[in-house]
Amino acid sequence: MLQKSFRRPQFYYTTAALPCPYLPGRSERKIVTELTGADAEALHDRLSRAGFRRSHNIAYAPVCPGCRACIPIRIDAQAFRPSRTQRRILALNADLEGFEVPPRATAEQFALFQRYQAARHGDGDMAAMGFYDYRAMVEDTPIETLIVEVRDPADALVAACLTDRVSDGLSAVYSFFDPALARRSLGTWMILWLVRRAVALDLPYVYLGYWVPESRKMSYKARFRPSEILWGGEWRVLTEEEAEKGLLPAAPRVTVSAG
């Protein structure tokens, strides 16, 4: 007698409203689901293409009533050409080297993470994270994850980027860098490094999370061109005018079905 294999049902939950971390005066709600079991990798792949992001073993996407400010964005790595400013950043940091290492938290990483949080996000929740919180952020992953460590000629760690590998690209989860080296634009340099790495691996995209045109901290993601945005339920090319002005046509919220 043949036995049928049953697929575990996937449950999705909506969080309570919290203050928006990007736009003052607005509230944030998310749809979340757990990434566990043998299907975690395949589910994460599908959800990434549907605009979700990962934190620990949770995938999430914004579902804020009446707000469409957070727009999933990814770089077309194979077609990407750096701008004049980005070429200057590459030249300025020619002495740096990026290394892929396993997702294992170290005291060196955490010390850099603390300096970054204190300088850039001192009033945020992450500034209060201890080492064990940081270790959970790095190591609690059910999928293929790595850390890009960026080192100078003296082998000092100057930047790092927690990165997920998905079937069609690399996904930048969280990056941080030495705030004393602001003139190097290390945040931009790490994205450029990921683009080059994606090309070397013959992967089409680098996922950057959410582009928030109204937020100064999140608007920079549209500077990497060509890029695609998930808008109206489909990935499409972000036009130059849209990237510069942040003006997009109205689009309905599309219900995601990822299995």
Residue 182 falls inside a structural domain: yes
Find the length of the chain.
259
Claim to verify: residue 36 and residue 90 sit in the same structural domain: no
> Among the three residues 208, 228, 249, which one is the final residue of a domain in this structure?
208
Residue 124 falls inside a structural domain: yes
Residue 178 falls inside a structural domain: yes
Distance separating alpha carbons of residues 204 and 240, to the nearest angstrom = 20
Residue 36 falls inside a structural domain: yes
Give Dmax over CA atoms of the chain in angstroms: 69
Residue 251 falls inside a structural domain: no
Claim to verify: residue 49 and residue 96 sit in the same structural domain: no
The model carries a pTM of: 0.91
* Average pLDDT, consecutive stretches of 10 residues, N- to C-terminus, the chain (259 residues): 61 94 93 94 96 97 93 98 97 98 98 94 80 97 97 98 98 97 97 98 98 91 96 94 84 53
> What pLDDT, on the 0 to 100 scale, is given for residue 201?
98
Claim to verify: residue 113 and residue 179 sit in the same structural domain: yes
> What pLDDT, on the 0 to 100 scale, is given for residue 81?
96
> What pLDDT, on the 0 to 100 scale, is given for residue 253?
53
> What pLDDT, on the 0 to 100 scale, is given for residue 245?
85
Any idea of the CA torsion for 132, 134, 139, 140, to the nearest 10 degrees?
A: 80
> Among the three residues 163, 189, 208, which one is the final residue of a domain in this structure?
208
> What pLDDT, on the 0 to 100 scale, is given for residue 125?
78
Instruction: Please give the tally of structural domains in the chain.
Output: 2
Claim to verify: residue 54 and residue 86 sit in the same structural domain: no
Claim to verify: residue 85 and residue 58 sit in the same structural domain: no
Q: Which two tokens stand for residue 201?
A: 């691996």
* Peptide bond just before 226 cis, omega within 30 deg: yes
First CA to last CA distance, the chain: 28
Q: What is the CATH number of the domain that holds 171?
A: 3.40.630.30
Claim to verify: residue 49 and residue 122 sit in the same structural domain: no
Q: Which domain holds residue 204?
A: 81-208
Claim to verify: residue 30 and residue 123 sit in the same structural domain: no
> What pLDDT, on the 0 to 100 scale, is given for residue 60?
97
Which residue blocks in the chain are alpha helix, DSSP H? 40-49, 84-92, 107-120, 131-139, 186-200, 240-245
Residue 26 falls inside a structural domain: yes
> What pLDDT, on the 0 to 100 scale, is given for residue 7?
63
> What pLDDT, on the 0 to 100 scale, is given for residue 120?
85
- Contact predicate 27/17, CB 8 Å: yes
Phi, psi of 148 (to 5 degrees): -90, 115
Distance separating alpha carbons of residues 251 and 68, to the nearest angstrom = 8
Claim to verify: residue 49 and residue 94 sit in the same structural domain: no
> What pLDDT, on the 0 to 100 scale, is given for residue 6?
54
Claim to verify: residue 198 and residue 99 sit in the same structural domain: yes
Claim to verify: residue 124 and residue 161 sit in the same structural domain: yes
Claim to verify: residue 18 and residue 88 sit in the same structural domain: no
Task: For residue range 17-57, list pLDDT tens digits in order.
Answer: 999 989 999 999 999 999 999 899 999 999 999 999 999 99
The residues, any chain, with a CB within 8 Å of residue 246's CB and separated by 6 or more, are 213, 214, 219, 222
Quote the crossing angle between the two packed helices 84-92 and 186-200, to the nearest 10°: 100
Closest CA to 234 of 105, 34, 50: 50
Closest CA to 217 of 69, 80, 75: 69
Q: Cα-atom radius of gyration of the chain, to the nearest Å? A: 19
> Among the three residues 164, 185, 208, which one is the final residue of a domain in this structure?
208
How distant is the alpha carbon of residue 202 from its chain centre? 20
Residue 103 falls inside a structural domain: yes
Residue 126 falls inside a structural domain: yes
Claim to verify: residue 95 and residue 164 sit in the same structural domain: yes
Any idea of the CA torsion for 100, 102, 104, 108, to the nearest 10 degrees?
A: -20
